[in-house]
Chains A and B, each alone.
Chain A
Amino acid sequence: MLVKAYNIKKKFDDVNVLENISLEVKEGEVVSIIGPSGSGKSTLLRCLTQLERVDSGKIEIDGKVMVDTKDGKTVYADTNTLHEIQLKVGLVFQNFNLFPHYSVLKNIIDPQIVVLKRSKDEATKIAMELLYKMNLADKSHAYPCELSGGQQQRIAIARALALNPKILFFDEPTSALDPELTGEILKVIKNLAKEKMTMVIVTHEMAFAKEVSDRVIFMDKGFIVEQGTPQEIFGNSVNQRTKEFLSQMNSYNQFY
């Protein structure tokens, strides 16, 4: 198991945002998380990537314990361990969060040089290979502001991949994009799935989730309501809340 999370709880000002979430992700697995907005999907990813701290529960990434709760006390690992765990995960944001003052190439090589202490030559080689893969080799000297949203998101994915994470999290990677640009991102993610990259993807693209995932998780109001194979969730879910959500998403997708 690459990710083991048990009984995660998280409150924001007395509002329970995550209530007893447990989740396991195997190496090579692609997991989609769906659910209405405000259900805690982003918060879950942010807890798993250390952008938020859980109130209680246990999280283990690639065999290393990030946080554990024993006898009612929640304790995070020491700074070094947390940093090691941080290096095992990548996160792709809804709004890319590229570094605007760095060129495309520098966005991808700077973390390698600063964080992994790779040489500039090695980092550049890795960056250029990724840019070829993303079909953006000709943009290496451009700045993020000169690129389309779809191109920026592909750079953000390349930047995360350059650090060789064990698992890549995506938080609605296409939600900030014009509809005609979502396809190029979904294609990149599908290719990563073919290469057996372990991924957890929060998405509102139901057809995509159905196609790419090994497992789909439906979250609502801070709970995991249901999880299963795409067939189980999209085909014949018997859960009332899942069915309601899916039919809402259906009419939404038809409308747009």
Chain B
Amino acid sequence: MKIDNIPIDLILKNMFAATGTVLKIFFLTILFSVPLGFLVALARRSRFKIISLPTRIYQLIFRGTPLMLQLFFFMYGPFYIFGKGFERFTACIVAFVINYAAYFGEIFRGGIAAIPKGQYEAAKVLGYSRLQTFMRIILPQVVKNVIPATGNEFMTLVKDTALAQVISVSEIFDVASKAGSKYFSAIPVMIAALFYLVMNTAVEFAFKLIEKKFDYYKI
């Protein structure tokens, strides 16, 4: 099939293949960065400066510099320093995970801080241990608190996967822009836009559903 003299079916085939890569980046990043972000949030709340301060500096660096630069850093940095480094896709995942954990850390920290002191006090007077208080009383409310911001971050992540091409991990946008310049056409890039939109519509729907599930109470 050809539109505008472009082999649409071929481009689509390549894009679907690249979608696999995008989904892999997306799910692997979430799999590791969400739990890591949780630990970052706890570390930031530590009363020991020796834990909270380095964590804050880590977050500042990774939230304060472009993800693109971080991708380069994890791809080529280790080669300069140690003489050997990560494989391409691994470097990509490492950069995404470390970057997103910094953001999730900030979101979760805010979610924990938003729980009123009275919740801890009520639980303490009732005799709950600190761990019981956190797991049973605080955490479920934190989850509800952070759903909207987390959904936002997931949608950003879908779009950020387009940056993987800077270390030659072939993803949707990479396929589209290459095809675009090869055939002097904007159509491949527009198809790519549609791909991102479809994925993010799914993310948006999923988060609306989750939000609804937590709608049975208000804080």
Partners in one complex: yes
Chain A contacts to B: CB under 8 angstroms: 49-51, 83, 86-87, 89-91, 93, 95, 97-101, 110-111, 114-116, 143-145, 159-160, 163
Contact B125 A91 (CB under 8 A): yes
Specify which chain A residues have a CB less than 8 angstroms from the CB of B132 in the assembled complex.
114-115
Could you tell me the distance between the alpha carbons of A145 and B215 in the complex, rounded to whole angstroms? 11
A114–B125 CB distance below 8 A = no
Q: Evaluate whether A93 and B122 lie within 8 angstroms (CB atoms) in the complex, with A99-B137, A101-B217, A143-B217 already known.
A: yes
- The complex places the Cα of A99 from the Cα of B137 at a distance, in Å, of 7
What separation, in Å, do the CA atoms of A114 and B121 have in the docked complex?
A: 16
Q: In the bound complex, what is the Cα–Cα distance between A100 and B136 (angstroms)? A: 12
Nearest opposing residue in chain B for A90, CB measure: B125
User: With A83-B127, A100-B141 given, can you name 12 additional A-B contacts, CB distance below 8 Å?
Assistant: A87-B127, A89-B125, A93-B118, A93-B121, A95-B118, A97-B118, A97-B119, A98-B122, A99-B123, A114-B132, A115-B132, A143-B217
Contact between chains at B121 and A143 (CB < 8 Å): no
Considering the chains assembled together, what is the distance between the CA atoms of A163 and B126 in angstroms?
8
B136 touches A110 (CB 8 A): yes
B128 at the interface (CB under 8 A from A): yes
B128 and A111: CB pair below 8 A? yes
A50 to chain B, nearest CB (A): 7
The answer to whether A51 touches B121 (Cβ under 8 A) is yes
Given contacts A51-B121, A93-B118, A101-B217, contact A86 B127 (CB under 8 A): yes
CA separation between A111 and B132, bound complex, in Å?
Answer: 10
Q: Are B121 and A111 in contact (CB under 8 A)?
A: no
Q: What's the minimum C-beta distance from B212 to chain A, rounded to whole angstroms? A: 15
Interface residues of B (CB under 8 A from A): 116, 118-119, 121-128, 132, 136-137, 140-141, 144, 216-219
Tell me the complex Cα distance, A89–B122, Å: 12
**B219:A100 contact, CB within 8 angstroms:** yes
Smallest Cβ-Cβ distance to A162: which chain B residue: B126
In angstroms, Cα B141 to Cα A111, docked, is 17
Of the candidates A51, A99, A163, the one whose C-beta lies within 8 Å of that of B127 is A163
SS class, residues of chain B in contact with chain A: helix
Asked if A115 contacts B122 (CB within 8 A), the reply is no
Complex: A91 Cα to B126 Cα, angstroms: 8
- The residue on B at minimum CB distance from A49 is B125
A159, B126: Cβ atoms closer than 8 Å: yes
CB of B125 within 8 A of CB of A51, answer: yes
* 4 A-B pairs with the lowest CB-CB distances in the bound complex, closest first: A97-B122, A115-B127, A97-B118, A145-B218
Q: Determine the residue in chain A with the shortest Cβ distance to B116.
A: A97
Chain B: minimal CB distance from A182 (Å) = 20
Residues of A with C-beta under 8 A to B126? 90, 111, 115, 159-160, 163
Give chain B nearest CB distance to A142 CB in angstroms.
10
A114-B132, A145-B217 given as contacts; is B122 within 8 A of A99 (CB)?
A: yes
Residues of A contacting B137 in the complex (Cβ-Cβ under 8 angstroms): 99
A186 to chain B, nearest CB (A): 22
Chain B contacts for A93, CB-based, 8 A:
118, 121-122
- Shortest beta-carbon distance, A136 to chain B, in Å? 17
Shortest CB-to-CB span from A244 to chain B, Å, is 32
CA distance A113 to B32 in the complex (A): 34
**Least CB separation from B219: chain A residue:** A100
Given contacts A99-B137, A110-B136, contact A115 B128 (CB under 8 A): yes
Decide if B141 touches A101 in the complex (CB within 8 Å). yes
Residues of B within 8 A of A116 (CB): 127
Nearest residue (CB) in A for B144 is A101
Smallest beta-carbon distance A64→chain B, Å: 14
Chain B residues whose C-beta falls within 8 Å of the C-beta of A91 in the assembled complex:
125
Q: Please, which residues of chain A bring their CB within 8 A of the CB of B219?
A: 100, 145
CA distance A113 to B91 in the complex (A): 48
Contacts of B127 in A (CB 8 A): 83, 86-87, 111, 115-116, 163
Tell me, in angstroms, the Cα distance from A171 to B32 when the chains sit together. Answer: 45
Which B residue's beta carbon lies closest to that of A112? Answer: B126
Residues from chain A with Cβ under 8 Å of B136 in the complex = 110, 114
CB distance from A68 to the nearest CB of B (A): 21
